[in-house]
Amino acid sequence: MKAQPAREANGADLLAATLAANNVTVCFANPGTSEMQFVAALDRQPVIRPVLCQFEGVATGAADGYARLAGKPAVTLLHLGPGYANGIANLHNARRAFSPIVNIVGDHATYHRIHDAPLHSDLATLVKPNSIWSRSAETADEVGALAADAIAASLGPPGGPVSLILPAERNWYVGLSLS
């Protein structure tokens, strides 16, 4: 898989461009405030069709069905730990079926975690049982490369759901020029 190079792009734009460059064409989304930059990046990326889902269980179920039928990765956009948790049953089934799903899980900005906000979760622990691969972006610059790694891992072998945890500020900041 290849990370999509971009000039003057933030982490969200690098993510969307990398997904598009790797033949990802649909994102089943139930976004919240921490994911709005990625939603805006999807608007600038005509290759990927965002599908708004009113519940995370719908998003993960639709992604599983799509991935099984299309034979290529589907993307979910989930809001924080509670959003991921709402889709766990479908992600469990997807893991058992080796369905290639890339879960983009928004997180609070890293400097906000010390406040233990009501929706704060230990995402690394939460995603582990149903993700064959998981990482959290440490900088905006690495979001594209991590997305490429996530897509490759979802395809396997063995293949299955993966989770890319995206702290909010990793979407905001301008990344280095990769071109």
Tens place of pLDDT per residue across the chain (179 aa)? 766 554 567 889 999 999 999 999 999 999 988 888 899 999 999 999 999 999 999 999 999 999 999 999 999 999 999 999 999 999 999 999 999 999 999 987 777 678 877 778 899 999 999 999 999 988 888 999 999 999 999 999 999 999 999 987 776 665 443 33
Which domains, and CATH codes, for the chain? 11-172 (3.40.50.970)
Closest CA to 147 of 156, 131, 136: 136
Structure tokens that stand for 162 in this block = 């993966």
Task: Report d(CA 110, CA 113) in Å as an integer.
Answer: 6
Instruction: Quickly count: other Cβ atoms within 10 Å of residue 21's Cβ.
Output: 19
Q: What's the pTM?
A: 0.90
Alpha-carbon dihedral of residues 33, 90, 47, 38, nearest 10 degrees? 20
Using omega within 30 degrees of 0 as the cis cutoff, is the peptide bond preceding 73 cis? no
